Structure 1
Amino acid sequence: MSEMAPFVREGRKIVLYVGGFILPDGTASAQRCLGVATLMRSLGFEVVMLGKLSPQPPSKGGTCQTVIQAFQCYDIRQPFWGKSYGSYVHSSHSLEDVLEHIGAHRVHSIIAYNYPARALAKLLRICRRHDIAPVAECTEWYGWEGLNPIRNLQRMTAAYWRAMVLAPKAGNIILTSRYLVKAYPAANVLVLPFVVNGSDPKWLTPARALGRTRVRFVYAGSPGAGLSKDKINYAVQAFACHKREGYDFALEIVGITEQQYLSARPQDRSLLRELASVITFHGRVSHTDALALLRSADFSVFFRDPNRVASVGFPTKYAEAVSCGVPTITNPTSDLPIFIQDGRNGLLARGHDEADIIHVLERALRMSPQDLQNMKSAVAADNPFHYERWQVQAARFMEACEAS
């Protein structure tokens, strides 16, 4: 589908992708958006990205434009020098300047990734003015996190306004799971969990050596305030139980240091001492290093509460593990049961409490080397997130896109 698709309106072949993602791999959202951009390019579109090129705003004379994976990219906080820009959370100036630069008459659609609600309202007006199709990409729902009530209420209110008020006005919506589909009966909706370029060498993982007896588990991610997001403390407690029973394994925790873990869970200090010979904390590492650790694993591990936050989103860590050919151990949330066939290409816990986690981890520890190799081969043989698998659905969605 690399040639010009028939649904690209004459002269309008650009998709402008906007959001707070940190390119190229500073956030999980950047990984997702680059995958979606690759998918859109495969349909015949030219994709221009307006995000963040670094965690901090560009310093005077620094980089505000670059090319990443052959996509022209601008920094949403300072796309051009010589002008002063307000925060993109409230202001549309950077968006309007990039539109003027690339030619608004050439833009087919603007995909707004989890865009701040006030800015999204302005984006919709800009799209109407220029006859551009707005696409609201809603992949998150915020729950209560931490101890700041004002911040929590602001985030939750903004998430509701974006997803339930502004997204229907856009009329074109990308979701990561089926959870909210029924909320948009009149909209043009694409459910797109995650997409990658499956042929990228970073996803290629060597086969497991059959002589290796120690089973390697990896958790890689941001565990959230109080370690609540991915239940990593439940997993640590379960692994401690299995170590007492004599099982041989290694647990790699990527994204948090031991001290950060203990700051959230000081009561687990004795557990970590008990696991000292089998557990390694790596702290925050580059995305490249995180993938290298993941590729060396037998299983990726995480567990989540089956609440609205988990149901609206789709775990990037699962899509990345599959793309590396690594089975995942988790519990049913979001659309994961569509992709995980328990016992064939991963393991699903019955629930998310400590007893369920102990049980599912024991299933993994009791697998023979050959059974484990068969499971890893099943994962490697079928990557449901390779972008070519989503071209038909995405083409249908883009064909139905209309200006608001």
Structure 2
Amino acid sequence: MKHKNVLYIGGFELPDKNAAAHRVLSNGKILNELGCKMFYMGISHNEECDRNILKTKEVKNYGIDYKVKYPNSKIAWFNYLYNISSIVSLIEDNDIDLIIAYNYPALSLFKLYKYCRKQKIKLISDCTEWYVPQGNIFFKIIKGLDTFFRMRVIHPKLDGLIVISKYLNNYYSNKNKNIILVPPLIDLNDLKWNQKINYNNPVCSFIYAGSPDSKAKDHLGKIISAFKGVNKEFNFSILGITLEDYNKIWQDSPIPSSLNEKIKFYGRVSNIEVIKNLKKADFSIFIREDNLITKAGFPTKFVESITAGTPVLSNKCSNIDDYLIEGENGFFLDISDVSTLTNSLNFVLNQSRDLIDEMKLNCKKYSRFNYLEYKDDFMRLLSFHK
């Protein structure tokens, strides 16, 4: 494999503003260790972001960082969805010979595909979702066509695919021969994983970290309803949403006054604060429906919890059953209805402190999300000749 100048493009906001940023930087670290020079073109919500992409250049410890202003008008969205001039500028200015497109819009991706074919540049997609459009009929049609074209037509044509889940790996296995399955990855040397936390919970403590809304993958309201029937003392910390927001979204699952001291909302916090609070908890918890969105994706919060040393409580969604071993690093929840979910929580609350401590230690030793474990996969991806 020759050394390459690699450009990673997509809707990520470096270095840590969204889950996409964490994934992209972890993958980029692997490529850097394989001898690649990394360039990134993400997005910025800064109103002062220069329209000339070359003037946004910043040299970072993770590579060369460029940004496009997040589109906030119809014209800006059209340019983002169709115009690839900024990408071409970066390619020409930096002698790029490999592009990785993170969940990139179909029209731009197709134009980029044709451009790369002419210029003999490799193009790979990093695919982490299968979006199901919601909203008004016009948006559903546009977004539905975009998803169909990207997932079913363009991806099989590309020089390779990085997919996040077993579902996507199985779907593309006979459509694109150069494919690797890469879950969300972490760098254990990052300071946030090495924060020293005093861990001493008088009662079993649970944590949820996310920013759900009424259309979210996570069903926080069902979890709250199940906690109403548990038979032991507990604490439940909820990060990423306020009590007021919760009451607006889940009006049918209000929090009774008897649980006001047990369930606490903390609103939005930084990622480093999320990790700190995860480390303090006995268990993290989330549940998701079994649908195309959850099958195709993979929960980053699962990876963060295990790496923070906190066992996970969840239903079987995506392919987390490839990583969660009951009684070792978590438990599966029965979410058939609120009653069965309550029974699952009661089962967890009846576990001994010694077992919980042992499970937390098992999580700290778990290595399957360490980015160094995937160097051979990326080597194979880059060495493939179509």
Give the alignment's TM-score, normalised by structure 1: 0.87
What residue number does 1:299 align with? Answer: 283
Matches within 5 A, 1:280-319: 280-319=264-303
The counterpart of 1:193, out of the listed 183, 196, 201, is 183
The counterpart of 2:342, out of the listed 349, 358, 369, is 358
Partner amino acid, structure 1, of 2:185: V
Is the contact between residue 208 and residue 373 of structure 1 (CA under 8 Å) also seen in structure 2? no
Partner amino acid, structure 2, of 1:252: S
Q: 1:40 to 1:206 in 2, by over 3 A?
A: same
What are the ranges of 5 or more consecutive residues in structure 2 without an aligned counterpart?
A: 71-75
What residue number does 1:138 align with? Answer: 127
In 2: Cα distance, 1:259 partner to 1:29 partner: 27
The counterpart of 1:168, out of the listed 150, 156, 180, is 156
Partner amino acid, structure 2, of 1:178: K
Residue 92 (structure 1) aligned with residue 80 (structure 2): no
SS in 2 for 1:50: strand
In 2: Cα distance, 1:154 partner to 1:214 partner: 50
Structure number with greater CO (CA < 8 Å, separation at least 6) is 1
- 1:215-273 Cα deviation digits (max 9, x unpaired): 221111122335x411111110111211xx3x22111111111111111122333x243
SS in 1 for 2:100: strand
In 2: Cα distance, 1:374 partner to 1:350 partner: 23
What residue number does 2:251 align with? Answer: 266
Residue 181 (structure 1) aligned with residue 169 (structure 2): yes
What residue number does 1:121 align with? Answer: 110
Q: 1:352 to 1:174 in 2, by over 3 A?
A: farther
Q: 1:343 to 1:280 in 2, by over 3 A?
A: same
What residue number does 1:248 align with? Answer: 233
SS in 2 for 1:159: helix
What residue number does 2:45 align with? Answer: 55
Residue 237 (structure 1) aligned with residue 225 (structure 2): yes
Partner amino acid, structure 2, of 1:200: D
The counterpart of 1:153, out of the listed 124, 136, 141, is 141
Partner amino acid, structure 2, of 1:217: F
Q: Give, in angstroms, the shift of residue 369 of structure 1.
A: 1.1
Matches within 5 A, 1:207-246: 209=199, 212-226=201-215, 228-242=216-230, 245=231
In 2: Cα distance, 1:162 partner to 1:356 partner: 39
Partner amino acid, structure 2, of 1:382: Y
SS in 2 for 1:384: coil
Q: 1:208 to 1:327 in 2, by over 3 A?
A: farther
Aligned CA RMSD, in angstroms, stands at: 2.3
In 2: Cα distance, 1:219 partner to 1:273 partner: 20
Q: Percent identity?
A: 29
Q: Give, in angstroms, the shift of residue 401 of structure 1.
A: 5.2
Partner amino acid, structure 2, of 1:312: A
The counterpart of 1:335, out of the listed 319, 330, 344, is 319
- 1:77-112 Cα deviation digits (max 9, x unpaired): 49xxxxx997322210110111111124xx2x1100
SS in 2 for 1:235: helix
What are the ranges of 5 or more consecutive residues in structure 1 without an aligned counterpart?
A: 1-6, 79-83
Q: Give, in angstroms, the shift of residue 76 of structure 1.
A: 3.0
Residue 257 (structure 1) aligned with residue 229 (structure 2): no
In 2: Cα distance, 1:248 partner to 1:23 partner: 40
Q: 1:46 to 1:112 in 2, by over 3 A?
A: same
Q: 1:144 to 1:17 in 2, by over 3 A?
A: closer
SS in 2 for 1:329: strand
Q: 1:260 to 1:370 in 2, by over 3 A?
A: same
Q: 1:356 to 1:275 in 2, by over 3 A?
A: same
Is the contact between residue 51 and residue 69 of structure 2 (CA under 8 Å) also seen in structure 1? no
- 1:264-290 Cα deviation digits (max 9, x unpaired): 122333x24332101111112222222
Give the alignment's TM-score, normalised by structure 2: 0.91
Is the contact between residue 111 and residue 137 of structure 1 (CA under 8 Å) also seen in structure 2? yes
Is the contact between residue 322 and residue 383 of structure 1 (CA under 8 Å) also seen in structure 2? no
Partner amino acid, structure 2, of 1:87: N
Is the contact between residue 125 and residue 155 of structure 2 (CA under 8 Å) also seen in structure 1? yes
Partner amino acid, structure 1, of 2:22: Q
Paired residue total: 377
Partner amino acid, structure 2, of 1:197: D
The counterpart of 2:192, out of the listed 202, 227, 240, is 202
What residue number does 1:81 align with? Answer: none
SS in 1 for 2:83: coil
What residue number does 1:4 align with? Answer: none
Q: 1:319 to 1:283 in 2, by over 3 A?
A: same
Q: 1:208 to 1:350 in 2, by over 3 A?
A: farther
- 1:178-215 Cα deviation digits (max 9, x unpaired): 21334331411111111111222211355774x63212
